Amino acid sequence: MINAGRAALVLLMLFCSGVGFAVARRAVHSQRKVARAQSFSMMALSAAVWMLLVGVNLLIANPALKEIVWWLIPFAILNTLMGLFFFSMEFSFRLKRVPRGILFSTIVITLVITLLAATNSLHHQFWTVVFIDGEYVQKMGPFFAYQLIYTYLLTLGSLVMLVRAFWLSSGVVRRQTLLLLVGILIPVLTSVAVDAFGWNPVPVLDLPALSIVVPVVLFSRATLQFNTFYLLPVASDLIIKNMLDGVLATDVDGYIIFSNPAVQAILGKTEAQLSGCTLDSVLEDWQPEALHAWKAGKESTQLTVGEEDPLFYHLSISKIAVDSSEPVGFLLKLNNNTEQKTYEKRLNDLAICDPLTGSYNRRYFYEMAHTYFNQMERSGRPLSLLMLDLDHFKNINDSYGHLKGDLVLQKVAALCRVMVRTQDIFSRYGGEEFILAMPETSLQNALAVAERLRRGIELLRYELDGITVTASIGVVETTGEADLTLDMLLSRVDEAMYASKHAGRNRVSTWKE
Identify the CA nearest to 279 among candidates 311, 252, 313. Answer: 252
Name the catalytic one among 135, 284, 367, 432.
Answer: 432
The question of whether 308 is a catalytic residue gets the answer: no
316: which residues sit within 8 A by CB, 6+ positions away?
Answer: 299, 300, 301, 332, 333, 335
Between the CA atoms of 63, 65, 69 and 72, what dihedral angle is there, to the nearest 10 degrees?
A: 120
User: In angstroms, rounded to a whole number, what is the distance separating the alpha carbons of residues 80 and 345?
Assistant: 61
Quick one: how far is CA 139 from the chain centroid?
55
Asked whether 391 and 470 are in contact (CB, 8 A), the reply is: yes
User: In angstroms, rounded to a whole number, what is the distance separating the alpha carbons of residues 397 and 415?
Assistant: 20
Identify the CA nearest to 47 among candidates 90, 67, 18, 6. Answer: 18
Asked whether 150 and 78 are in contact (CB, 8 A), the reply is: yes
Asked whether 54 and 73 are in contact (CB, 8 A), the reply is: yes
Q: What is the DSSP string of 108-128?
A: HHHHHHHHHHHTHHHH--SEE
Helical axes 171-197 vs 142-168, angle rounded to 10°: 160
Bridge partners (DSSP) of residue 127 are: 140
Query: Looking at residue 478, what DSSP letter applies?
Result: E
Scored b (16 or more CB within 10 A) or e, 475-491 reads bbbbeeeeeeebeebbe
Which of the residues are catalytic? 432
